[in-house]
Amino acid sequence: MTQLLLFNVFNGLIIGAFYALMALGLSLILNLSGVINFAHGGFLAIGGYLAYTLIPYVGFWGALVASPFLVAFIGILVERVLIRRLYGRDPLYSLLLTFGLAFMIEDGTRFIWGAQSLPYQIPSWLSRPLSLQFFFLTGYRVFMVILVTAVVAALFVILNHTRLGIRIRAGTLDLETVSALGVNTGVLRNLNFGLGIYLAGLAGVLAVGMLGLQPTIGDNLIMPSFIAIIVGGLGSLPGTLAGGILIGVVSGITTVFLPAASEAVMYVMMAAVLIVRPRGLFGEEGRF
Amino acid sequence: MKFDKRAGDVLVWALLLSAPFWLPLAGSYVELGTRVVIYALAAMALNFLLGYTGVLSFGHAAYFGLGAYGTALTIKYLVPSTPVGMLAGIVLGTVAAAIIGPMIVRLRGVYFAMCTIAFGQVFYFIAFQWFSLTGGDDGVSAWHREPLHFGFATLDILNSNKAFYYFVLAIFAVSAAAMAFLLRSPFGRTLLAIRENERRARFLGIPVDQHIWMSWVVSCFFVSIAGTLFSLMNDFVDPRALRWDQSGNFVIMAVLGGMRSFWGPLIGAAIFLVLQDYISSETQNWMSFIGLFFVLVVLFFPRGVLGIIRRKATS
């Protein structure tokens, strides 16, 4: 029993880390540009597929490094060509646009790589369990937790200690003033979008090692990411991080006692948060 | 050219009433007309909230789907009667909306949209996972709509697709009239005031959240009517009826036709469904084309067809 519980808590932690990675990217874009990026799951899938294609040439580690950057580059292009035109308009339009993009990306990946699930090889020494008693602790899982922790830490260092990060945070609070102070907000939003998409791409590369590779892989991760943002509180990145991990772990624990409710419990948590504290756990008062 | 509203109304009703007769001549079929009317009702219901209250819901598929499931399950397991099934579906959809409403009406803009999306997915998961009741991914099948008995006459909506079309159109007409009536009432004018300037409406002492809740429930009520008709049309319902892409379809229909006009969503639904019908019969990659369609509408027709006509008419 203890072992089962431990297994599911750990599993929930990993899933929660994915939710958090996705949600942090979504949150970055939402906070600065007011765009709900419905295509985020699509970018995640592209990350996975690009890594799959790259592995024969650059190996597992090369793909792990290169793929998210390529996805971020695609994201930057998409922002420049399409999404930029919709800033300042009703959020309805950017939502519809990214919605259409999500369709196109899903169908496009299916067209290029096929609808069937593809095998994704991770190095054999990573897929071995670390101990016999805790069979679920494979090297890959531990590695994922460490990597996600490192990336999230790096993200917060960027946001708190670099010029770009400080401008992003300032822009989140008051973009007009930031613009008046001489910052090119077009470039700022562009880079911020790229940063958010980079996180989606990275989540994609990591997720395929665990969930396999199929065109709809992003679909199952995007709704929990929305919930993570709502639970954590809109406008707060630490909140989003906490929200992602929280719903992952809670849904993991629920799996032990009531497997059928493991999805539903996330929505229950969202409803509870909205009733008790509509701005979310760490959200600012009066922002939305 | 002056845009004459009454002439427009007459034209719309004339086209709708004669549809079963000219659709086959235009190389189409009656079921497509039925589908257009049903989706038009859903999109107009959404537009009650989106266009007239200025609140963006991206989760209306949930209440559409609840209406559909309520009807299907009632007819299959409880009472093999079309009106009872419809009533059950409408009650299910509306009650769910009324319960969820208070949790989200305090939120605005993107945040409201995001919460409606997330809440919409709850019902998708329930329909998907409660296999013993809903059949999961396979949906609810092995039932069919029943002919309507009025005591003095029987309307065979099961076997005659024209009869079913007129049945759907009658319900559409009543619903559209009810929405038009509500929009012209003081309640509707208050919603317009909230759309135009929420802060000023609040200063005037209008309980804004309460009005948004009412508008939300009214909107979901009509969308669940569309949902019941949808499952009656197919004699079948599966979780795709309440998935998020369905919500997106409703929104794009309203936008494409013109959010600020009463008949806009109807025009949007007609264009969207005819196009979808054509593309999905031509290519396997119809999803890409629909996606591209979304992008093009947003970039080039944000005001919708009627919005453009109206702007030309005034300039």
Residues of B in contact with A105 (CB under 8 A): 291
* Residue A287 clears pLDDT 60, i.e. is over it: no
ipTM: 0.88
Residue type, B211: H
Written as one string, the DSSP assignment of A124-177 is HHHHSBS-STTTT-BHHHHHHHHHHHHHHHHHHHHHHHSHHHHHHHHHHHHHHH
Which residues from A are below 8 Å from B295, CB to CB? Answer: 82, 97, 100-101, 104
A77 vs chain B: nearest CA distance in angstroms?
15
Distance CA A190, CA A103 (A): 22
User: Each residue of A58-83: pLDDT tens digit?
Assistant: 988 899 999 999 999 999 999 999 99
Q: Provide the Cα torsion B122, B125, B126, B132; round to 10°.
A: 180
Q: Which of B58, B126, B295 sits opposite A100 (nearest CB)?
A: B295
Per-residue pLDDT at A288 exceeds 60? no
Q: What is the pLDDT of residues B224-234, one digit of tens each?
A: 999 999 999 99
Q: Is B129 on the interface with A (CB under 8 A)?
A: yes
pLDDT higher than 50, residue B82 = yes
Please, which residues have CB within 8 angstroms of residue A233's CB and are 6 or more apart in sequence?
A239, A240, A243, A279, A280, A281, A282, A283, A284
Question: What's the pLDDT at B1?
Answer: 43
pLDDT tens digits, A113-171: 888 888 777 777 777 776 666 666 778 888 888 999 999 999 999 999 999 999 999 99
pLDDT tens sequence across B49-79: 999 999 999 999 999 999 999 999 999 999 8
Residue B42 in contact with partner chain A when CB distance is under 8 A: no
pLDDT in tens, B150-201: 877 788 888 888 899 999 999 999 999 999 999 999 999 999 999 999 999 9
Residue A6 has pLDDT above 80, yes or no: yes
Asked if A108 is an interface residue toward chain B (Cβ–Cβ < 8 A), one would say yes
Least confident residue range of A169-183, A212-226, A237-251, B205-219: A212-226
Q: Is A64 on the interface with B (CB under 8 A)?
A: no
Other beta carbons within 10 angstroms of residue A106's beta carbon come to 23
Q: Is B110 on the interface with A (CB under 8 A)?
A: yes
Measured in angstroms, the CA of A260 and the nearest CA of chain B are apart by 7
- Cβ within 8 Å, pair A111-B294: no
* Cross-chain residue pair B298–A86, CB shorter than 8 Å: yes
pLDDT tens digits along B228-282: 999 999 999 999 888 888 999 999 999 999 888 899 999 999 999 999 999 988 8
Distance CA B227, CA B232 (A): 9
Contact by Cβ (8 Å): B310, B267:
no
pTM recorded for the entire structure: 0.91
Asked if A86 has any chain B CB less than 8 Å from its own CB, the reply is yes
**What is the residue-averaged pLDDT of chain A?**
88
Residue A37: pLDDT band (50, 70, 90) is: very high
Contact yes or no for B302/A93 (Cβ under 8 A)? yes
